[in-house]
């Protein structure tokens, strides 16, 4: 076997090993391995990602102009996302599009600690856009919020163990995150990039309170008040 052939075989073997490793490792470790290997050599910017799919994503959205503000409503029980937008000239929120949630781990109820596999519930800022996510594309939520930390103190929970790296992302796996299809994530990523993360918020509901009643019994005790606030916020987002 000549030298070039040996190099080719080594590269192929190494690539195959990496693919198998990424598939077999737990999600958190798989993400770290990806970022330390493939992610180091093939880095995208938000702009380069938008150059790849922005035109097609905009065509699917059928938008003439992009909204200056964006709200993402996530309904865990219905496994549905809704996107709403508005501009400074129009105070009313306009419905843009609905997406199906492929995966959202856990059950009804807030995220309380690292490793509980729960998707948070409440009002969250978008901390950043991730064009190099191991899950294709991602929006990172600013979790835990100030209210989450305050409630953890009230419950005497360990503030160092509340969890982190909660994302809205592509592909289909989820441990405390919300996953949608890659094509849907392109549209969400595009809208968030155009509105900018600081003008985008995500509201995560246990269910759609426009068609379902508030739970009579809730645990922990403080979540009932958060549900009432979430329910009140839906007055700005009417659906027939």
Question: Which of the residues are catalytic?
Answer: 169, 177
Strands (E), the chain: 69-75, 80-87, 90-100, 103-104, 122-130, 138-141, 167-169, 178-179, 200-205
| Cβ proximity of 135 and 143 under 8 Å | no
The total of other beta-carbon atoms located within 10 Å of residue 8's CB is 12
Helix axes 27-36, 3-24, angle to 10 degrees: 150
Q: Which is it for strands 178-179 and 167-169: parallel, antiparallel or unpaired?
A: parallel
Closest of 37, 36, 54 to residue 45, by C-alpha? 54
Strands (E), 56-155: 69-75, 80-87, 90-100, 103-104, 122-130, 138-141
The kind and range of the H/E element at 162 are none
């Amino acid at each position: 076997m000549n030298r070039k052939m040996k190099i080719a075989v080594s590269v192929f073997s190494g690539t195959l090993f990496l693919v198998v490793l990424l598939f077999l490792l737990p999600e958190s470790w798989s993400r770290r391995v990806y970022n330390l290997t493939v992610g180091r050599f093939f880095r995208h910017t938000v702009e380069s990602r938008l150059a790849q799919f922005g035109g097609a994503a905009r065509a699917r959205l059928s938008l003439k102009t992009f909204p200056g503000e964006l709200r993402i409503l996530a309904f865990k029980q219905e496994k549905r996302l809704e996107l709403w937008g508005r501009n400074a000239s129009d105070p009313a929120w306009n419905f843009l599009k609905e997406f199906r949630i492929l995966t959202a781990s856990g059950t009804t109820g807030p995220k309380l600690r690292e490793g509980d596999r729960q998707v948070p519930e409440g009002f969250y800022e978008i901390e950043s856009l991730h064009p190099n996510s191991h899950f294709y594309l991602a929006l990172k939520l600013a979790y835990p919020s100030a209210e989450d930390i305050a409630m953890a103190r009230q419950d005497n929970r360990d503030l160092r163990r509340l969890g982190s790296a909660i994302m809205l992302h592509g592909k289909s796996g989820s441990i405390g995150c919300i996953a949608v299809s890659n094509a849907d994530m392109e549209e969400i990523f595009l809208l968030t990039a155009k509105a900018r993360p600081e003008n985008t918020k995500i509201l995560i509901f246990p269910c759609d309170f426009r068609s379902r009643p508030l739970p009579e019994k809730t645990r922990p005790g403080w979540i009932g008040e958060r549900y009432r606030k979430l329910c009140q916020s839906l007055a700005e987002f009417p659906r027939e």
